[in-house]
Structure 1
Amino acid sequence: MSTIRLDFVSQDHLVFSDDVNEVIAPGSEGTLGILPRHAPLMTVLGPGEVIVRREGQTELYFAVSGGWMEVRPDHVTILARTAERAEEIDLTRAEAAKARAEQLLATGAPREERVGLEMALRRSQVRLKVASHRRRGWRPSGPGVAEEFSEEG
């Protein structure tokens, strides 16, 4: 099966870099599935789930808060504002953030605060969805996984 190179970075670290079979990302116009030899494009990423598929390996799941994605036929670059692997997400914090945003929205927050609260709610929902994919005791390692996230790190 053919592959496409994925370089995935956030503002402060390399998230993932390797050859992959498919990248699924939250584009500005909806979810995008990127396969090798995809037509070139540049898109804004919204808050959502990035899924990385590699043949014969477990899918990797990431929560992103937005960013940019450039696609070329042989290479995908994701520049995310923030990115967290499913295993990195603190469920307690994500659930608390969701409850806090829901409570503030329900109490009739001022209009100028609603947009920020709605974004916070969306981010916490994405984080909880991505965290639901994690498996106990599983940590990705090997080619493409940044050193700080490998078994030795």
Structure 2
Amino acid sequence: MAEPEKLFQIKIVTPNGLIYSHRGSSVSMRAVDGDRQILYNHMPILTPLAIGEIRVKRGAEMDHKVDYIAVSGGIIAFADNVATIIADNAERARNIDLTRAEAAKQRAEAHIKEAKEKHDQQSLQRAELALQRAVTRIRVYDALHHK
């Protein structure tokens, strides 16, 4: 007899409240020091996250469905088979407005060009972060809609 699949709780919280809460077989993300994946019974961990996508594999009960969530940094804490991600902003792929994300990308690219022309390092850094967030949202949207 096959062993039952080991699932754990995954929650994503922002200042606006709970964005995501499901059980999954794995959660993958980009930490500031590289890619990470957490599985059932992983050792406790607390690590900062980079701007990027969170991928949650939901398990056999959901035909191994993968949920995609864009986050703009934050932290992940994992202990006792509960993964909690706290982020300033998080957006599920199904909620991303692609037109708005593409417009944000174009604005950020224009701000980067302008900041470079003015040699404004602070504005350049802000625009580069805005570009990363917009590109991440587009990539997360594409992951859901173009499998």
**1:18 Cα offset (Å):** 2.6
8 Å contact kept, 1:36–1:73 = no
Q: Does 1:24 align with 2:28?
A: yes
TM (normalized to structure 2)? Answer: 0.86
> For each residue in 1:89-147, what CA deviation from the matched residue of structure 2 results, as whole angstroms up to 9, or x when unmatched?
111111111111112212325112111001000000000000102349xxxxxxxxxxx
**1:7 Cα offset (Å):** 2.0
8 Å contact kept, 2:7–2:59 = no
Equivalent of residue 119 in structure 1, options 119, 129, 142: 129
Residue 90 of structure 1 aligns with an amino acid whose one-letter code is D
Distance 2:122 2:145 in 1: 39
Residue number in structure 2 paired with 1:90: 97
Residue number in structure 2 paired with 1:14: 18
Residue 99 of structure 1 aligns with an amino acid whose one-letter code is Q
8 Å contact kept, 2:68–2:92 = yes
8 Å contact kept, 2:8–2:81 = yes
After TM superposition, the structure 1 = structure 2 runs for residues 3-152 of structure 1, keeping only pairs within 5 Å, are 3-56=7-60, 57=62, 58-107=65-114, 108=116, 109=118, 110-135=120-145
Distance 2:104 2:57 in 1: 29
Distance 1:65 1:12 in 2: 14
**Runs (4+) off by over 2 Å:** 133-136
Question: In percent, how many aligned pairs have the same letter?
Answer: 35
Deviates most, 53-62 or 117-126: 53-62
Count of matched residue positions in the alignment of Structure 1 and Structure 2: 136
- Segments of 5+ residues of structure 2 without an aligned counterpart are none
Which is helix-richer, 1 or 2? 2
> For each residue in 1:60-113, what CA deviation from the matched residue of structure 2 results, as whole angstroms up to 9, or x when unmatched?
000001111101241111111111011111111111111111122123251121
Which is strand-richer, 1 or 2? 2
- Segments of 5+ residues of structure 1 without an aligned counterpart are 137-153
TM (normalized to structure 1)? Answer: 0.83
